[in-house]
Structure 1
Amino acid sequence: MIAHLPIQLQKKLTRHVSQCSIAWELIEPNDKIMVAFSGGKDSILLIHLLDSIRRIVPFDFEIGVFHLNQSAPDFPAKKALEQIASEGFEVWHEDLETASILAEKIAADESPCGLCSRLRRGIIYTQATQRGYNKIALGHHRDDAIETFMMNALFNGQIKSMPPKLVADNGHNVIIRPMLYVAEEWLIEASKYLDVAVTEQTFCTRGHSGQRYETKQLLAELERRNPNAKGSLMAALHHVVKTHLLDKGI
């Protein structure tokens, strides 16, 4: 097993993933779902929860695990991938020495995040297509959706978050986020019971800077003042009053 969670925690996580999957038709018979594996707790738990659901639904679907190693020649996720492969999953990886590409294309005073994201996305899409996976599962959770919503509103002037299901711009790859109803605090608690080694992020150096970090800090302050702030923001994403916005296109 990838994790041995307390029964009540396992039930809570499985229930919320199931609710999201049913509401948005994320998992369907004969799907081949490729998990984009970062090595962190969220993607490990995503594999565990998808496998848990696979054991109880009345139809078959496959789960594969792909990791893009951006720390070559260092390969911090190697042990985790070996452990996951030992559980019977198809597991593979690709190396991409990202730093030199970003250094060549991005000025020193510019953010590399956009280009880095596009590079990763292109490789992930290609791998899914080449291996015959029709869906790509990402490990984003409720807090990621809320932070993205806030970040886009505050810094980009858009009402925009993360959809549970999205057809990529290429019209072929389908992105799913089965954990979008799951609170990060539940995943942090669940990570204490993992049997797979969690890999700390070693490539990205912007974890404590930039717009997302500022948004995290702002949300933490809001939650100190109003403990239900995140719950209310998530509810807002489910209840859009179109007649009271300023966009004539909706």
Structure 2
Amino acid sequence: MKLQRLLGFVRRAVDDYGMIQDGDTIAVGVSGGKDSLTLLYALNELKKFYPKKYDIQAITINMGYKDADFSGVAKLCEELGVNYSVVDTDIADILFEYRKESNPCSLCARLRKGAFNKKAKELGCNKKAYAHHFDDVIETMLLSLFYEGRFHCFSPVTYLDRSDITLIRPLIYLEEKDIIGFKNTYQLPVVENPCPVDGYTKREEMKQLIKTMNKQSPGLKKRLFNAIREGNIDGWSLDQN
């Protein structure tokens, strides 16, 4: 995928849901994965011509895995002219050494969010951007449906009153395959995920299920996404934005 096409998807999401306003300072969560690096690249390029002026801050939460190397990310941020902060934590030790969590994802997410929000506020950010994409949207809805018994998904824009920060998700129109293409074309410095449970989660199972079902019924993914947009889930109706 070329940059121009990427920016087309991102701008449409930003415009449809009013994600960015004049004077925003947006903390971009950069895990080092392909999704977050694509988001960082896109928002940095978009700000060069977007009519509403904003700034970005790149933030990585270092979980404490010994093999994690973010030097490539730091170099990319330098090339882009983006301020880059790494927050060192011992979240990995808390999860796997002290608590020995067998299902660590929920606690891990809470700890990472807490560390991220604190740093974002220190940097003067009023918004934060996560790299959830088109496929994440569908997977989250089905996980909620299958395991919680409700038709629900995260919103494109969410105000978090506890931290007084607004969360935006500019990649919601972008399929994972396109992000992979962009990563390969622009040789983004992806950091391999060192988490021992990566690839063994309920989300990974759902990803494989959707892949199989979409092969059997072409266009299923787009129909599921449209069901979310038209299904009265808070924050998704374009009429509300």
TM-score normalised by length of structure 2: 0.90
- Residue 35 of structure 1 deviates from its aligned partner by 0.4
CA deviation vs aligned residue, 1:130-150 (integer Å, no higher than 9, x gap): 110111011110000100001
- The 5 Å alignment of 1:91-130 reads 91-103=84-96, 106=99, 110-130=102-122
Q: More displaced, 84-93 or 132-141?
A: 84-93
Number of the residue aligned with 2:36: 43
Number of the residue aligned with 2:183: 191
**Partner of residue 213 from structure 1, selected from 178, 182, 204:** 204
Number of the residue aligned with 1:226: 217
- The answer (yes or no) to whether the contact 1:31–1:135 under 8 Å persists in 2 is yes
- The answer (yes or no) to whether the contact 2:28–2:57 under 8 Å persists in 1 is yes
Q: Does 1:68 align with 2:61?
A: yes
Number of the residue aligned with 1:245: none
User: Aligned equivalents of 1:104 and 1:72: distance in 2?
Assistant: 12
User: Aligned equivalents of 1:24 and 1:228: distance in 2?
Assistant: 24
- Residue 220 of structure 1 deviates from its aligned partner by 0.9
- Residue 112 of structure 1 deviates from its aligned partner by 0.9
- Greater radius of gyration (CA): 1
Q: More displaced, 141-150 or 69-78?
A: 69-78
- Residue 80 of structure 1 deviates from its aligned partner by 1.6
CA shift in 2, pair 1:213/1:61, >3 Å: same
Percentage of identical aligned residues: 28
User: Aligned equivalents of 2:93 and 2:117: distance in 1?
Assistant: 22
- The 5 Å alignment of 1:46-57 reads 46-57=39-50
- The answer (yes or no) to whether the contact 2:64–2:93 under 8 Å persists in 1 is no
**Partner of residue 156 from structure 1, selected from 148, 153, 165:** 148
- The answer (yes or no) to whether the contact 2:27–2:125 under 8 Å persists in 1 is yes
SS in 1 for 2:80: coil
Structure 1 runs not aligned, ≥5 long: 243-250
SS in 1 for 2:50: coil
Number of the residue aligned with 1:165: 157
- Residue 40 of structure 1 deviates from its aligned partner by 1.1
- The answer (yes or no) to whether the contact 1:98–1:116 under 8 Å persists in 2 is yes
Moved over 2 A (4+): 9-12, 71-75, 103-108
- The answer (yes or no) to whether the contact 1:35–1:137 under 8 Å persists in 2 is yes
Number of the residue aligned with 2:132: 140
CA shift in 2, pair 1:53/1:87, >3 Å: closer
Instruction: Give me the CA root mean square deviation.
Output: 1.8
- Residue 44 of structure 1 deviates from its aligned partner by 1.1
Number of the residue aligned with 1:247: none
CA shift in 2, pair 1:104/1:158, >3 Å: farther
User: Aligned equivalents of 2:52 and 2:126: distance in 1?
Assistant: 16
